[in-house]
Amino acid sequence: MVGVNMMRKNSFKLYGLFSLRQEILLTPVIVFTPLIVSLLFFYNAIYNGFLCGNMMYLGEFFVGATVMFGNLVFTIPFLKAFFKLRKK
Amino acid sequence: MIPEEKTFAHWYRRAIHAFSAIFLVYYIFPDVYWITVTKKCVVVLTVAVFAVFEVMRIRKLIKNHKIFGLREYEENRFGSYLYFGIGAAILLLFFPQQIAIPSILGAAFVDPAIGELRSKTGKMTAYTVGFTLSLFFFSFTWLTAPFPFSFIAPVIGAFGAVVGEIKKFRWVDDDLLIQLIPAVLLGILYLLTGLLSVAFLPSEIIHPLPPPPWLV
């Protein structure tokens, strides 16, 4: 009985995952990809630039900071709207 | 659509806009011959795939042809995301990065910022903030340009970006114009200074990662 209940619960979970719409499935991509990309810029700026005393890599730092900050500005209200919608 | 869904759709569009700044990752991949060719091919193929998808969507060849977040007027024309992609692809493939980077950053952040401010503070404030933000992106990129271009180019770029946002056409989206107008204006200046043998461009601001030994 416990096994059947568990199966039912898991199948609901799985069904729930596939019934998500494209915009909801894309949410983690929209949120995390810019963060990863900006970290890549920071890595290049710090590892190949600042640690070697090369200030030419300031541009990478600027682009990384812009991508991260700019995305946070629009992602926070987006996530708020997302969770509000999920509650409904 | 319930109000919560409308708010979500609104911020979804804004978040997608800001997300597109990640295209700049193009410049950070190692500058090895086959990687350079591959990344150029990826840019062209991505735009081609989305263009085919859009044609199929408009002709209603796709079962679920309604895409969340698309505006009503985009129902029978290409979605603005495709215009953004075409603009970014042109910039990445044909323009020097000193022109492409601030243009793409402008389209990714200035366009949604103006859109938000326009409804909250009015057009004048929105365009002034948009101009300032765009000027900041261009100024940082052109900091090392020879005088007087370190001053002139950011003003031209920011002016072009705001004009691209203000001017509305039915068949051409502002996501394309906000990128291409500043880039074309600066591109013309670049060609003219090239003809006169005058140094124009600043040094590059994104340097490719050094290729790992196993990759070369």
Measure the CA–CA gap between B107 and B110, rounded to whole angstroms.
6
Q: Which residues of chain A make contact with B140, given a CB cutoff of 8 A?
A: 59, 62
Average pLDDT over chain B, rounded to an integer: 90
| Residues of chain B neighbouring A37 (CB-CB closer than 8 A) | 22, 24-25
pLDDT at A28 over 80: yes
CB A66 within 8 Å of CB B137: yes
Query: In chain A, what residues touch B8 (CB-CB under 8 Å)?
Result: 23, 78, 81-82, 84-85
Per-residue model confidence (pLDDT) at position B143: 92
**Which is higher by pLDDT, B80 or B213?**
B80
Question: Is residue A68 less than 8 Å (CB to CB) from chain B?
Answer: no
Determine the 3-state secondary structure of B171 from DSSP. Answer: coil
Query: Is A34's Cβ below 8 Å from some Cβ in B?
Result: yes
Rounded Cα distance, B4 and B19, in Å: 22
Taking the C-alpha atoms of residue B176 and residue B87, their distance in angstroms, rounded to an integer, is: 5
pLDDT at B196 over 80: yes
**Can you give the pLDDT at residue B160?**
94
Q: What is d(CA B106, CA B211) in angstroms, rounded to the nearest whole number?
A: 30
Which residues fall within 8 angstroms of residue B201, CB to CB, at 6 or more apart? B96, B98, B145, B190
A13 in contact with B at a CB cutoff of 8 Å?
Answer: no
ipTM of the complex: 0.89
pLDDT at B15: 93
Domain limits, chain A = 22-87
The answer on pLDDT for A19 being more than 50 is no
Neighbours of A80 (CB within 10 A): 13
At residue B167 the predicted structure's pLDDT band, cuts being 50, 70 and 90, is confident
Cα atoms in the Cβ-side hemisphere of radius 13 Å centred on B183:
26
Give the phi and the psi of residue B59 in degrees, each rounded to 5: -80, 5
State the smallest CA–CA distance between residue B5 and chain A in angstroms: 6
Give A47-83 pLDDT, tens digit per residue: 888 888 888 889 999 999 999 999 999 999 999 988 8
pLDDT at res. A9? 56
The model's pLDDT over B56-71, given as tens digits with 9 standing for 90+, comes to 888 888 776 667 777 7
List alpha helices for A19-57, DSSP H: 22-43
Model pLDDT, residue A56: 85
